[in-house]
Chains A and B, each alone.
Chain A
Amino acid sequence: MPDIKVTPLGAGQDVGRSCILVSIGGKNIMLDCGMHMGYNDDRRFPDFSYITQNGRLTEFLDCVIISHFHLDHCGALPYMSEMVGYDGPIYMTHPTKAICPILLEDFRKITVDKKGETNFFTSQMIKDCMKKVVPLNLHQTVQVDEELEIKAYYAGHVLGAAMVQIKVGSESVVYTGDYNMTPDRHLGAAWIDKCRPDLLISESTYATTIRDSKRCRERDFLKKVHETVERGGKVLIPVFALGRAQELCILLETFWERMNLKAPIYFSTGLTEKANHYYKLFITWTNQKIRKTFVQRNMFEFKHIKAFDRSYADNPGPMVVFATPGMLHAGQSLLIFKKWAGNEKNMVIMPGYCVQGTVGHKILNGQKKLEMEGRATLDVKLQVEYMSFSAHADAKGIMQLIRMAEPRNMLLVHGEAKKMEFLKDKIEQEFSISCYMPANGETTSIVTNPSVPVDISLNLLKREMALGGPLPDAKRPRTMHGTLIMKDNSLRLVSPEQALKELGLSEHQLRFTCRVQLHDPHSDNDTLGRIYTHLKSVLKTYSIQHVPDGTVIVESIVIKVTSSAEEPNLKVILLSWSYQTADSTATKKKKIQL
């Protein structure tokens, strides 16, 4: 029985280091290759030794696909390709290909230069790794090899985020990566056609959340920022340089404009300009509205938002600062946080999910004292707000995607086990499909039921279709008989005659002759004549011939009349037919007997 095997190396009942292995139709695919923000040891990266204990991965993988540029989806890529060793193709969309190396380099700098770690991938490795990348366009069918094809769909989570369909023969898997089913200020909603995959692998970050309307959340956010700034406080918004940051910038920019506010807004890294430039060049990946108006007004040219300098953090008076990274686990956002944490006038707004182990996660859980390096503790007095701006599908969105794609099976990753459990039940109930949620290193097998494509000879098909009557009736099912020839990997369905001819075989004829006795005083010929007239009257739709040699032929059935000299009145009628016409013969025979 053919099956599809799925093994998460990361993101199995967890968020972070997404890495999912899929085996389908003899092909092995790695979906995402991320890092875990919550760990600083080996657990930071997926455990590639699962694939092979020693040596390179190239011969074990047919391709690697990266869904989007977030580090928990691509952060382990240079490690995997350059340090473990993989030379095959790596697929990602153009924006991901453009932005991913920048974030990797950022990540590398923080880890190596700031934390002083060694044995980490180098800048050169990031470059070498990116050389293996093949860009993907939306909806383009990419033939990885003769059997394996992949196709990207818009996922809406961040610029360039994609869902991928993986197809081998008639078996297919869709991997969503992270996605968002509601359009936001700069991105559109995820979309997929009714592709009916055997398996849909979906993220489930917000498996149990049904988010309130986006407008409300935006109003809330603006209100909180406004209030803090009014009372002279400072607002820190930890973000990743690309993605949510741009959406919030658009939001604040328009609000500042409307309310005529003067408090400065800063963006912390030098990346801003550059980041916004990516958005301008990849405007086709943003939402309808931005795309439509970009010639008149490019939404990514901000008037109120300026570059941040480290010294500004100590400036008196209100300000709003966007700083990276988004989970307060390192870098500038953490530095600023430490400076501002002691003042209750200030506020930190966490606009996205924070993985366990990060400062972001701790303060969101209400921790008021934080242990810092060097045994120092930090009192958290500033207000901590969480706003779910991170663009993941909520439970409603996940259900909506299932309705769109109509998968035969469902598998959840990138979420917390408890929440997954809840969603799994809901999915199984609502859609009556199996739903799986393997843990890391655990393999799920899904039996597929592919139909077998066969070449049918046009003669046979046309003959069968013709038997089914004229075209309006063509949808009526008909029984067809044929011979399947399996030769050199090809499957052909032909008519039995053609098969015999092709294979140099002769058909075995099975013929029946039936004797029917009846009394009739007429001569043999007259009896036959009477049978002929009778048949003519009852079998109007058949071709009936009276042949001079003393037989009546009804299509392929031969009828003869004999009698013995002793009993001339006792006629023996010989009905002869071949097995092939058995069905119709039976009915005809019945009619004759009448």
Chain B
Amino acid sequence: MKLYCLSGHPTLPCNVLKFKSTTIMLDCGLDTTAALYFLPLPLVHSPRLSKLPGWVSKDGAVNLEKELKECSGRVFVDSQPEFCLPEKELLDLSTIDVILISNYHCMMALPYITEHTGFTGTVYATEPTLQIGRLLMEELVTFMERVPKAQAATCWKNKEIQRLLPGPLKDAVDVWSWRKCYSVQEVNSALSKVQLVGYSQKELFGAVQVTPLSSGYSLGSSNWIIQSHYEKVSYVSGSSLLTTHPQPMEQSSLKNSDVLILTGLTQIPTANPDGMLGEFCSNLAMTIRAGGNVLVPCYSSGVIYDLLECLYQFMDSANLGSTPFYFISPVANSSLEFSQIFAEWLCQNKQSKVYLPEPPFPHAELIQTNKLKHYPSIHGDFSSEFRQPCVVFTGHPSLRFGDVVHFMELWGKSSLNTIIFTEPDFSYLDALAPYQPLAMKCVYCPIDTRLNFHQVSKLLKDIQPLHVVCPEPYTQPPPAQPHRSDLMLELQPPPMAYRRCSVLGLPFRRRYERIHLLPELARSLVPSEIKAGVSVATVSAVLQSKDNKHVLQVSECSVHDSLGNTECLKCMIFTSELYGHILHLQTEDVLIQLEEDATHIICDNNEPLRTALRDLVLRFLQKL
């Protein structure tokens, strides 16, 4: 059993598990942080961005002014942003049988894996994961295709040239494997391979059973159990114990795992989500009161629902009830609508609302009362309808593409305005770099509801896996806080750490396998009790193995053969007085030596006689 690690990113994992001749990919996260090396894609022509100077090496030997632009001392690639894909060379992706998706953030690389690699397997995901994942992919594609870039920069990737570039571009790794965004056709084709599953649904492939369990992180998010009758691997990815909107995390089914693969812990272990939410509200209120606008770069699904719910209560109490909220995204409407129809996947108290029947999220009311308005983009109705001061939720959180780029250009120059970062996926300093110098206030309130180290160590104590596999960063304190030994996993035995391109052998000590005795065979068995509570039966039968499933059925051979060699077992109660005697059948010149644990028949080459004797002895032994 082996684990191939195709991504080193702890929260955007992509691992492949070879388990009982089934090849299972666990998530396929897309690392979009590579986009930070690129210039933003403005929706409307930006004089500032277009006037940025091109980059030429100091000695003038390397001239990449067409590809690279300098902004506030940093160099950016002027091209359509690219993303870092899971490793494609470590194993043949066409051999993958199944892809298990744990949540919609961890499936963004799916089209790269399922298209053009010869993949013929099935993708398993819950319905919310599929639907919201589809929205996020479509949004990404729209962001890119709305503002096509004529050129694709590649010269800078040349090793010899990259070496000469200023940091951080110089240190970017695997740049040749970066790819630009997929197309809508590829998204549709990839998602057509998804088969929907529900929590606790048992899906079988040969001898392997996979089951998704609620992970509490987002709508439809799951952890997975991959098991045979005797081995159990738990895949824990992006889980949360906080009470937000999703169904709570199911923990008890993770017990008794041989191996637990742990990914997707919080990226900001030092920030408390509740505290951050408080800070978010107070900063927002402060800005609005001062007449400024608030920009919240965010994903179109997930924490935004909680933010809206929180603001729904907060705004009235803060006397800011008339402040408009705008949610701008090509999928804003769909995201808000979809969130209301997944009652089964929500926490108890939201679930009970639909029995009334009421929509589970209060943003329905915000929309009805016109406090929250959603638009597909800044073009069209929005430009004529929007009032300031206001709060704008829009993507993409990397600040490299999407409508957020426009608001950065529009509001960046005024110190009245505030940008509040809530998504933890991107360093906010890197995200802001191409907009410097910036007058607008920046507040960093990352809300990451995923498990922190304290919660995870308690969880592991409860569920007691024999071995834990995790990304390498979890086995040491964060580089910025080398003394915080509480911000790492300390386990006995120590966790097996992986990084991109690792191949781990998973430790299993398996001693049994499941086999089925067909009813006819089961009936033919003659068990005898040899000790109190222990019975024994000899089995001689035909073994059939197919797809890792084993079946025993009655053999069609003669009775003697089917009696098998184990008749001898019964002889332990051989208390005959004949022990130690030798019988001599004079007429046939046959000697039979009888010992406690052996019988020896010595005869001439007379086969009928020998078989007769054999049967006699066997029958005698059987009787005992």
Which one of A29-37, A136-144, A308-316 contacts B? A136-144
B318 within 8 A of A: no
CB within 8 Å for A496 and B531 given contacts A457-B512, A579-B614: no
CB within 8 Å for A507 and B568 given contacts A98-B354, A453-B514: yes
Those 8 A-B pairs whose CB atoms lie nearest each other, nearest first: A508-B571, A509-B598, A508-B568, A513-B602, A455-B512, A451-B516, A456-B515, A486-B535
| Nearest Cβ on chain A to B186's Cβ, whole angstroms | 20
| Nearest Cβ on chain B to A103's Cβ, whole angstroms | 13
The dominant DSSP class at the B interface is mixed
When C-beta atoms are compared, the residue in chain B nearest to A276 turns out to be B357
Which one of B94-102, B293-301, B548-556 contacts A? B548-556
Inside 8 A of A451's CB, which chain B residues have their CB?
Answer: 516-519, 522, 551
A511 within 8 A of B: yes
Q: Which positions 508-552 of chain B face chain A at CB distance < 8 Å? A: 510-519, 522, 525, 527, 530-531, 533-546, 550-552
A565 within 8 A of B: no
A431 within 8 A of B: no
A503–B565 touching, CB < 8 Å: no
When C-beta atoms are compared, the residue in chain A nearest to B601 turns out to be A512
A107 within 8 A of B: no
When C-beta atoms are compared, the residue in chain B nearest to A573 turns out to be B605
CB within 8 Å for A454 and B536 given contacts A477-B543, A479-B561, A515-B605: no
B116 within 8 A of A: no
Assembly CA distance A484 to B516 (angstroms):
12
Assembly CA distance A357 to B539 (angstroms):
62
When C-beta atoms are compared, the residue in chain A nearest to B562 turns out to be A479
Pick from A274, A453, A456, A513: contact of B357, CB below 8 A.
A274
B503 within 8 A of A: no
Q: Which positions 398-452 of chain A face chain B at CB distance < 8 Å? A: 449-452
CB within 8 Å for A507 and B539 given contacts A141-B201, A449-B519, A475-B544: no
Pick from B359, B536, B552, B618: contact of A485, CB below 8 A.
B536
| Interface set of B (CB-CB < 8 Å, partner A) | 127, 197-202, 211, 229-230, 333-334, 337-338, 340-344, 351, 354-355, 357, 359-360, 510-519, 522, 525, 527, 530-531, 533-546, 550-552, 555, 557, 561, 564-566, 568-572, 574, 597-605, 610, 614, 617-618, 621
Q: Which positions 130-156 of chain A face chain B at CB distance < 8 Å? A: 135, 137-142, 151
B534–A511 touching, CB < 8 Å: no
Assembly CA distance A456 to B569 (angstroms):
18
When C-beta atoms are compared, the residue in chain B nearest to A511 turns out to be B600
When C-beta atoms are compared, the residue in chain A nearest to B574 turns out to be A508
Assembly CA distance A485 to B536 (angstroms):
5
A277–B341 touching, CB < 8 Å: no
A461–B355 touching, CB < 8 Å: no
A483 within 8 A of B: yes
B568–A284 touching, CB < 8 Å: no
Inside 8 A of A142's CB, which chain B residues have their CB?
Answer: 200
A506–B535 touching, CB < 8 Å: no
A282–B343 touching, CB < 8 Å: yes
Mark contacts of A539-560 with chain B using CB atoms, 8 A cut-off: 1 yes-contact digit, 0 otherwise: 0000000000000000000000
Pick from B199, B515, B531, B597: contact of A140, CB below 8 A.
B199
A284–B342 touching, CB < 8 Å: yes
Assembly CA distance A454 to B539 (angstroms):
12
Assembly CA distance A278 to B343 (angstroms):
11
B516–A452 touching, CB < 8 Å: yes
B540–A486 touching, CB < 8 Å: no
B568–A486 touching, CB < 8 Å: no
A583 within 8 A of B: yes
Assembly CA distance A449 to B342 (angstroms):
41
Assembly CA distance A121 to B295 (angstroms):
56
16 sample A-B contacts, Cβ–Cβ < 8 Å, listed by A number: A455-B514, A459-B511, A479-B561, A483-B569, A485-B535, A486-B527, A486-B537, A493-B515, A496-B569, A503-B536, A505-B572, A506-B597, A508-B571, A510-B568, A510-B599, A511-B600
Mark contacts of A460-485 with chain B using CB atoms, 8 A cut-off: 1 yes-contact digit, 0 otherwise: 01001100100000110111111111
| Nearest Cβ on chain B to A460's Cβ, whole angstroms | 9
Pick from B197, B514, B536, B561: contact of A499, CB below 8 A.
B536
Inside 8 A of B514's CB, which chain A residues have their CB?
Answer: 453-456
| Nearest Cβ on chain B to A277's Cβ, whole angstroms | 5
Pick from A139, A283, A452, A455: contact of B197, CB below 8 A.
A139
Assembly CA distance A483 to B564 (angstroms):
10
| Nearest Cβ on chain A to B515's Cβ, whole angstroms | 4
Assembly CA distance A479 to B182 (angstroms):
54
A500 within 8 A of B: yes
A376 within 8 A of B: no
| Interface set of A (CB-CB < 8 Å, partner B) | 94, 97-98, 135, 137-142, 151, 274, 277-278, 280-284, 294-295, 449-459, 461, 464-465, 468, 474-475, 477-488, 492-493, 496, 499-500, 503, 505-517, 579-580, 582-583
When C-beta atoms are compared, the residue in chain A nearest to B604 turns out to be A515
Inside 8 A of A457's CB, which chain B residues have their CB?
Answer: 511-513
Assembly CA distance A443 to B465 (angstroms):
47
CB within 8 Å for A512 and B546 given contacts A455-B514, A457-B512: no
B201–A453 touching, CB < 8 Å: no
Inside 8 A of A479's CB, which chain B residues have their CB?
Answer: 540-543, 555, 557, 561
Assembly CA distance A488 to B618 (angstroms):
30
A465–B522 touching, CB < 8 Å: no
| Nearest Cβ on chain B to A564's Cβ, whole angstroms | 14
CB within 8 Å for A480 and B569 given contacts A140-B198, A455-B514: no
A481–B565 touching, CB < 8 Å: yes
A484–B510 touching, CB < 8 Å: no
Pick from B341, B518, B541, B618: contact of A282, CB below 8 A.
B341
Assembly CA distance A493 to B516 (angstroms):
11
Pick from A452, A468, A482: contact of B522, CB below 8 A.
A452
Assembly CA distance A238 to B64 (angstroms):
77
Assembly CA distance A457 to B509 (angstroms):
12
Inside 8 A of A277's CB, which chain B residues have their CB?
Answer: 357
Assembly CA distance A284 to B127 (angstroms):
9
A138–B601 touching, CB < 8 Å: no
Assembly CA distance A514 to B543 (angstroms):
33
Inside 8 A of A580's CB, which chain B residues have their CB?
Answer: 565
Inside 8 A of B561's CB, which chain A residues have their CB?
Answer: 479, 583
Inside 8 A of B600's CB, which chain A residues have their CB?
Answer: 509-513
Inside 8 A of B617's CB, which chain A residues have their CB?
Answer: 510
| Nearest Cβ on chain B to A380's Cβ, whole angstroms | 38
Inside 8 A of B566's CB, which chain A residues have their CB?
Answer: 481-483, 496, 499
Inside 8 A of B569's CB, which chain A residues have their CB?
Answer: 483, 496, 499-500, 505, 507-508
Inside 8 A of B570's CB, which chain A residues have their CB?
Answer: 508
A484–B538 touching, CB < 8 Å: yes
CB within 8 Å for A484 and B544 given contacts A140-B199, A281-B340, A514-B603: no
A579–B568 touching, CB < 8 Å: yes
Inside 8 A of B197's CB, which chain A residues have their CB?
Answer: 139
B512–A458 touching, CB < 8 Å: yes
B519–A493 touching, CB < 8 Å: no
Assembly CA distance A513 to B359 (angstroms):
87
When C-beta atoms are compared, the residue in chain B nearest to A101 turns out to be B355
When C-beta atoms are compared, the residue in chain B nearest to A2 turns out to be B519
B545–A475 touching, CB < 8 Å: yes
Assembly CA distance A510 to B566 (angstroms):
11
When C-beta atoms are compared, the residue in chain B nearest to A475 turns out to be B546
B517–A454 touching, CB < 8 Å: yes
B545–A94 touching, CB < 8 Å: no
When C-beta atoms are compared, the residue in chain B nearest to A461 turns out to be B513
Inside 8 A of A140's CB, which chain B residues have their CB?
Answer: 198-201
When C-beta atoms are compared, the residue in chain B nearest to A590 turns out to be B607
Inside 8 A of A281's CB, which chain B residues have their CB?
Answer: 340-341, 343, 354, 357, 359-360
A509–B599 touching, CB < 8 Å: yes
Inside 8 A of A503's CB, which chain B residues have their CB?
Answer: 530-531, 534, 536
When C-beta atoms are compared, the residue in chain A nearest to B595 turns out to be A509
CB within 8 Å for A513 and B601 given contacts A479-B555, A484-B536, A580-B565: yes
Inside 8 A of B572's CB, which chain A residues have their CB?
Answer: 505-506, 508
Assembly CA distance A458 to B561 (angstroms):
23
